[in-house]
A and B are shown apart, each in its own frame.
Chain A
Amino acid sequence: MGMAEEPMGVAPERARQRGRGALAKPLVDFWFLFLGQAFEIRTRWFWFIFQMTFVPVSFLLFLWLLIGRDDPAAMLYVITGNVTQGIAMSGMLSLGQEIGGMKDAQTFEFFASLPVSKLGFISAMLFRATVFTIPASVLVFVVGSLFFDLSFQFHPLLLLLIPLGGLSLSGLGALVGFYSPNGKVAGLATQVLNPIIVFLAPVFIAREALPPLLDTTSSFIPTTYLAEALRDCVTGTVGPQTYLAILVLGGFAIVSLWLVAAKVDWRARD
């Protein structure tokens, strides 16, 4: 039976089996899941623009009022900290809240009833969230350089660092989203985790400025390494410590992926 004779609306097993191999399906899934996520901008464009512009810039300017222009080193930490927070949030907050929201709206069950992998699903959401942080990050660097006379250099390692940064926290975000009973609880959980990963780590301040206990505990928080590597990448000080930080982030990312693959169950428990 040729293609033209295949029944309307019914999946021809033959066509599926003809497929394009084991790698093609995950890539196709990723692309279409990402597109579906990106479509959100059609109906929530105002909210996205607001988040990408007003929120980071107002935060930056507020801190500038506190710190002033006389301490460029501190402003560097503020700017890179802002970007670090954005990347980390794309991995955790976005996933947790989005999945929780999808469960509330029953759209999660729709995707769970399709033959897509958990990893593909999470990766697509994370990629969308990460892509959508880029304009805010660029804006923060532009404002930073205009207002505070800072100059930034953008090392190509950023292309690896940014997705790794989001991925390093994606497992936590996915767990929060999948195991929260609803979107409200997921949102609450991510809001509770936010200060832990941002303010208990040397994101906005130097590691040396942390109390000894926090200095120790910050070693176990991915944003520590993300912030350090980001600072190196934008100030032209990439060195062995940067690669080490990226390696550690990679380890967190692997743990994240393992958490999603092994510990997340699509099925509702109750």
Chain B
Amino acid sequence: MPKPVIETVGLTKVFRRTGVAANRDMSLSIQAGDIVGLLGPNGAGKTTFVRMVMGLLRPTAGSVFVLGEDVQRYPTFPATKIGYYGQRALYLWSYKARELIYHTARLRGIPSAVARRATDDLIETFGMEQTAGRLMWHLSGGQARLVALCAALVGIPSILVLDEPTNELDPALRQRVWTYLLDLSQHQGVTILLVTHNIHEAERVLDRVVILDAGEVRATGTPGDLRRRLGDEVRLELKVVGGIDGARAFPDILGQAGAREVRRDVWWVYAAREMLPALLERVLSPESQAKLEDYRIVPPSLEDVYVRISSKGWE
């Protein structure tokens, strides 16, 4: 079996000041060419994990190996092999967009001509021709984030670690990013570890998913494996009429454990397929229709797996 590109063994991080255990005993391995998504609620430890992989944060216990090298021993090694995109915005306001991408390529050791070409290609790919010559100071938040992402992508040897790469990007750009990452993985063999909340969009590119919660790995597998673990369940979405308390209006459906109001007036509840006819009869009754604006039946998705793990834990 080929050596993993990234491997962690019992990786643990406890922040001394707060006593918070951001990562507990995490052991993962990522093979070459895979796109692995780290999912989890806010505060699950995703960013902490990727920062330790990058050698930017010292672990409390455990080991990280990048291409077989122990990052604890050689903390600067990941920087020589990995293109990193951090979670927070990059406040390098004095750079022009093109300069930031080109300079990053040069600092990665890419010769001048190749760096220029790579910069131009990325600018063209993501439609940044109008903004390439502007100062980062003058760009919108989303535009600046895109430039920072391109700086991470330019001149990447074989590994990318991207922390929420589509944050603040418009839907069209997000699609372009996902397509680009998929192309890198499938045609260039680039290994990608990414953190994302955009599960719905990321699902189509991920080879494997790791779901974290409270610093621990709760589930891991391909998106299909994880969806199948939901078994025969489907998701019923109900949008109640504004101002109505859904749990009171539908105590037999929305008043049960497992039902969640995911946003105002919109409820999700998971049910076995054999329960569907009875549920639909209830939902379609005239009495219910008066209290509902909309309803949907949705086959299980990665988002559902994520929500289920976050809400009740994985058995």
List chain A positions with a Cβ less than 8 A from chain B: 3, 6-13, 15-16, 18-19, 25, 28-29, 32-33, 35-36, 39-44, 105-107, 109-110, 112-116, 265-270
Contacts and interface: CB of A to CB of B under 8 A. Distances in A.
Contact of B155 (A3, A11, A18, A110): A11
Contacts of A112: 56, 79
Contacts of A12: 114
B137 to A, nearest CB: 6
| Listed residue (A10, A40, A44, A266) with the most chain B CB atoms within 10 angstroms of its CB | A10
Nearest to B137: A43
Given A25-B109, A268-B58, A9 B90 contact: no
A8 B16 contact: no
A10 B90 contact: no
A109 B92 CA distance: 12
B86 A106 contact: yes
A21 B125 CA distance: 32
Contacts of A42: 94, 135
Contacts of B151: 110
A144 to B, nearest CB: 33
Given A9-B118, A116-B79, 8 more contacts: A13-B157, A28-B106, A39-B95, A107-B90, A110-B92, A113-B86, A115-B107, A270-B16
A211 B103 CA distance: 51
Contacts of A269: 16, 58
Given A3-B114, A39-B99, A19 B109 contact: yes
Contacts of B99: 39
Given A10-B184, A32-B103, A106 B89 contact: yes
B142 to A, nearest CB: 17
Nearest to A39: B94
B75 A267 contact: yes
A28 B93 CA distance: 22
Nearest to B18: A270
Interface string B1-17: 00000000000000111
B76 interface: yes
Nearest to A181: B17
Contacts of A13: 157
B156 interface: yes
Interface string B84-115: 10101111111100010001111111110110
Contacts of A19: 109, 111
Contacts of A28: 106-107, 109
B135 A43 contact: yes
A10 B33 CA distance: 14
B22 to A, nearest CB: 10
B155 A10 contact: yes
Interface in B44-58: 51, 54-58
Nearest to A24: B109
A162 to B, nearest CB: 24
A33 B107 contact: yes
Contact of A115 (B92, B93, B108, B118): B108
29 contacts: A3-B113, A3-B114, A8-B118, A8-B125, A9-B153, A10-B118, A10-B188, A10-B190, A11-B155, A11-B157, A15-B110, A16-B157, A28-B106, A36-B103, A39-B94, A41-B94, A43-B94, A106-B89, A106-B90, A110-B90, A110-B148, A112-B56, A113-B82, A113-B84, A114-B104, A115-B80, A115-B108, A267-B57, A267-B75
